[in-house]
Chains A and B, each alone.
Chain A
Amino acid sequence: MSDVILEMRNITKTFPGVKALDNVSFSVNRGEIHALVGENGAGKSTLMKVLSGVYPHGSYSGDIIFEGKECAFRDITESEAIGLVIIHQELALIPYLSITENLFLGNEQGQRGIINWNESVSKTKELLKRVGLDESPNSLITNIGVGKQQLVEIAKALAKKVKLLILDEPTASLNESDSEKLLQLLLQFKENGISSILISHKLSEVSKVADSITILRDGATIETLDCRKDSIGEDRIIRGMVGRDITNRFPPRDSKIGDTFFEVQNWNAYHPLHADRKISDSVNFHVKKGEVVGIAGLMGAGRTELAMSIFGRSYGSRISGKVIKDGKEIDVSSIEKAVNNGIAYATEDRKSYGLVLIQEIKDNITLTNLDEVSSMGVINEPKETAITTKYRTDLNIKCSSILQKAVNLSGGNQQKVVLSKWLFAQPDILILDEPTRGIDVGAKYEIYTIINRLAAEGKGIIMISSELPEILGICDRIYVMKEGKIVGEIPAKEATQEIVMKFIMTQEVTEQ
C-alpha cells in the first residue's frame, strides 16, 4: 500500500540490570501519524532515544532503516541531518532569546559565522505562518505561553527540513484548544507528506488523529493497530496497554457529604509582575466535608494561581479576601500559617515545586510536619521511619526502601510521595493541582482511590485538573474557571463534557 519511511528491527537495549527494550520492531509509513502508547516505563522514550541517536549506534542491538538506508547514528545531529527530529516533553528553548534566534540555533543563517538577520527574520515569518503562530519573530520565548512555545519547537523542526517528526507528550502541558490546534497541524503535515510519531497518554487524542497505533508493554511490542480499517476505541487501547480490561477507569464512590466547612469569599489577587493584571477576580467558592470539588478550566484560567494565592500567598500580589474554616476566618498570610490552619496544596509541578529530588523518600514525606517527628528540635528517627513506612504501605509506593532518593522513582510513585507528605501535614482541606499529570492508567486509578478514601474520612478535596473526563469521573461538584473568574458551578450528576465546555466557550463568545 504505502511505502515504509522508517523501520526499526529487533531493537534490544539493556541498562545495567534491566532490559529496557526487548526485541522491539516498529515501522512507520510515509505520510502517516503513528501513535506510540504504553504505560510509564514501557520503553517508549527509550525507543525514541535509540532512534534519534541519544543512545549511539553500538549501545543497542538491532537495525534502523530510514528511507531504505541503514542508519548508525552517533548523536542527535546525525539523525537530524537526515530529517528525523524529536521534540521532547521538556521543551529545549532558550527563554531569553527571541523566536528567530531559537529557530536557527545551531543552524544559523549566514556565512562565515556572520548572521544574516534579514534572511533569518524573513524565514522565521514564513515558518511561523506554516505552523499558524501569530507572533513577532522578535518576541522572547519567555514572554509567550507554553502552547506557543510548542509551536516554535515544531517550526524549528520544519527549519531543519523534517521528514519524520517525533513528538513526546506534546499536549501534556497544553489546554484543550491549544492541543486541538496542534493536532490539526499534525494532520496538515500529513497532507504535505511529513510523517509523525506521537507519544501520548491522552488516548482521546490518539484515537482521533492516529492512522496506526503501536502499543508497547514492558519493553516489548504488543501489537500494532490499524485505525484506517476500523475505528479503535480507547478501551481497546487500554486493554493492550495494561494487558487486561479496565472495566472502570474511576473507582466507585459512595459520597457522604456533610456541611460546608471551608469557604473563600471575595478573593482578589493580582499578577506579581504585571501589577494591573487580575489573576483572581472576586472569587467565591465553598467546600463541604467529605466532598470532592473539581475546578475545571483552560490552561491559564487562573486555577493554579488561585490555589497558590490562598495557600500562604505563595503567588500573586495585593491579595485580598476572606478564608473561612469551621465558621471562623483563618489567617493564611504565610505558608506556615496556612498549613497550621489545615490547608495543604500539592503542586502540579512535582519535580520543581513538590519534591527535593536528591533527598530520600523519608525526608521528603516528613518535611511538611517535622515537629510531629521531633522533640525540642531533635528528630526522632525511629518514629520518622515508622511513619514513613506506614505511608509507603498505605499508598503503595513502589520503592526499594524509604531511603531511596525521590529522583529515582517513576512519576506515579513520585506523585504518591507528594500526596504522602501532604497527608502527613494532617490537613482538613487538600488542594490537588493536576494530581495525575503524566502518570499511567494504573497509577491514576490508585490516586483516585486515595482521593476517595480521604473524602470518606471527611476531608474536603479541591481538585484542579485539565482532563475533563477525570473531573467528571471523581468530583461531586464542579466549578468552571475562566480568566480568573468562576463562571459556572455544576453538580456532578448534571455535568457532561459538553456542558462544561459550553461554560468555557459561551463566556468567550459574549466577550468578543
Chain B
Amino acid sequence: MKALLNLLKTNIREYGMLIALIVIMAFFQYQTKGVLLKPINITNLFLQNSYVIIMALGMLLIIVAGWIDLSIGSIAAFVGAIAAVMMIKMDFPWWLAILLSLLAGGLIGAWNGYWVAYVKIPAFIATLAGMLVFRGLTYLILNGEQIGRFPDQFQKLSTGFIPDYFHMEGFHLTTLLIGIVISIVLIVLDIQSRKNQKKYGFEVTPIAFFLIKNSLITGALMGLCYLLASYKGLPNVLVLMSVFIAFYTYVTNQTVLGRRIYAMGGNEKAARLSGVNTPKLLFQTFVNMGVLAALGGLIVTARLNSATPKAGTGFELDVIAACFIGGASSSGGIGTVIGAVVGAFVIGVMNNGMSILGIGIDWQQAIKGFVLLLAVFFDVYNKNKS
C-alpha cells in the first residue's frame, strides 16, 4: 500500500490530470443528476470536442518544439470557407474538396512555418499575423455571409455513425465488439512493454499497480463503449480521432521524427549541432499543424452544416489551454499527446457540464481560466518541490 502511494506520488503529474478529469466528471455527473453520462450526452461530448482534440495533436508538437500557433482558429475558418465554395458553389465532389482543403491547410502551415523556421520571426508574431490575414481572407471569400448546406456525405464526417452489422434492437453490438478488441490489444501491448523493460533491467511498476491500471483502463473503455452502443454507436469522428491519437502517440514515442522534435524543443542549439536539421523540422511541424487545423475546420463546418466568417473564433485558445492543462511546458521539450487529449477533455467536460447546469458563458470563461491557472500552478509547484 505504501509503495503504491509512493508510486502515485512520483507519477503524480502523469496521472494527476487524469484523476482531476475523473473528479470533474464525477462532480458534474452528480450536479446534473446523471445527465452528463447519459449515452446521448456522451455522444454529443465527443462530437463537440473532436476538433479541439485533433488540433491539439498538432499544437502539442508545436509547443514541444518550443513555439506556439495562434492562427489555427482562422485557418479552420478559412479552410471551411474554401471547402464550402468548392462543394456548394463549384460542385466539386466531396472527397476532392476534402483533399484540396487539407492541401490548403498544409500550404498555410508552410506559410507560417517559412516565417518562423527560416526567416526566424518569433512564432507568436508570425502566427498572430496569420490569424489576422486568414480571418480577413475568410470574410473576403464568404462575402461576409454564411454558406450552406453541404452534401450528405460531407456532413457524415461529423454527424454520422459507423454501420452496425448485427441490427440488434436499441443496441449497437459492433461498437461493443470493437471495444473488446481494442481492450485486448491494449493489454497485450502493455504486457509486452513490461516484459521488454524487465529484460533490460529497468525498474517496472509493481504487479498490483499494473493490474489496477489495466483493469481501470479496460473498465473505462468498456463502460464508454457500452454507453455509446446503447445510443447510436461509435460516431465516425470518434473513430477518426482515435486513429489520430494512436498515430501521434506512436510518432512522439517511437519514431526518429518524434525524438528529434523533443530534442529540438529541449535544446535547439544542441540538437542542431547534433546534425538535426532544425529549421526543416520546425517547418514540417508547422505544415502538420496546418493540415490538422484544416481537418478541424472541416469537422466544424460539417457539424454546423455551413461555413461562416466567424467560425473557429477562439479555437486556438481552447487548443493551447488543452496542451498546457495536459502538462506541456511553455519553454518546450516537455509534453505528451495523451496529456493534451486529457486536457482537451477537461475543458470539454467543463463546457458541457456547465452548459447543462445553465451556467452563463460569462462564468464559464472565468472558471475555465481558473482551471488553466490551477493546472499550471500545480505543475510549477511540483517542479519546485522536486
Contacts and interface: CB of A to CB of B under 8 A. Distances in A.
A376 B170 CA distance: 45
B172 to A, nearest CB: 35
A378 B254 contact: yes
B271 A367 contact: yes
B269 A352 contact: yes
Interface string B234-253: 00000000000000000000
B255 A379 contact: yes
Given A314-B273, A335-B275, A374 B267 contact: no
A353 B199 contact: no
Contact of A363 (B257, B262, B269, B275): B262
A296 to B, nearest CB: 23
Given A353-B269, A359-B263, A378 B255 contact: yes
Contacts of B333: 356, 358-359
B200 interface: yes
A356 B271 contact: yes
A382 interface: yes
A140 B196 CA distance: 56
Interface residues of B, number: 26
Interface string B259-273: 110110011011111
Interface in A362-380: 363, 366-371, 374, 377-379
Contacts, number: 84
A367 B277 contact: no
A10 B203 CA distance: 39
A403 B203 CA distance: 10
B275 A382 contact: no
B202 interface: yes
B256 A371 contact: yes
A377 B257 contact: yes
B273 A347 contact: yes
A83 interface: no
B12 to A, nearest CB: 17
Interface string A270-311: 000000000000000000000000000000000000000001
Given A363-B262, A403-B202, A381 B275 contact: no
A415 to B, nearest CB: 14
B256 A382 contact: no
B266 A356 contact: yes
Given A336-B277, A382-B200, A370 B267 contact: no
B277 A314 contact: no
A334 B278 CA distance: 12
Nearest to A349: B269
A350 to B, nearest CB: 9
Contacts of B259: 363, 366-367, 370, 379
Contacts of A359: 262-263, 266, 333
B371 interface: no
B374 to A, nearest CB: 24
A179 interface: no
B270 A356 contact: yes
Contacts of A357: 266-267
Contacts of A369: 275
Contacts of B277: 334, 336
A357 B269 CA distance: 12
B274 interface: yes
Nearest to B331: A358
Nearest to B258: A379
Nearest to B196: A382
A375 to B, nearest CB: 10
Interface in B272-308: 272-277
A374 B276 CA distance: 15
A355 B333 CA distance: 13
Given A347-B273, A359-B266, A370-B260, 11 more contacts: A334-B277, A335-B275, A352-B267, A352-B269, A352-B270, A353-B269, A354-B273, A357-B266, A358-B266, A359-B333, A385-B200
13 contacts: A314-B273, A334-B277, A353-B273, A356-B267, A358-B266, A359-B266, A367-B276, A374-B255, A377-B255, A378-B254, A378-B256, A381-B254, A421-B274
Interface of B: 196, 199-200, 202-203, 254-257, 259-260, 262-263, 266-267, 269-277, 333-334
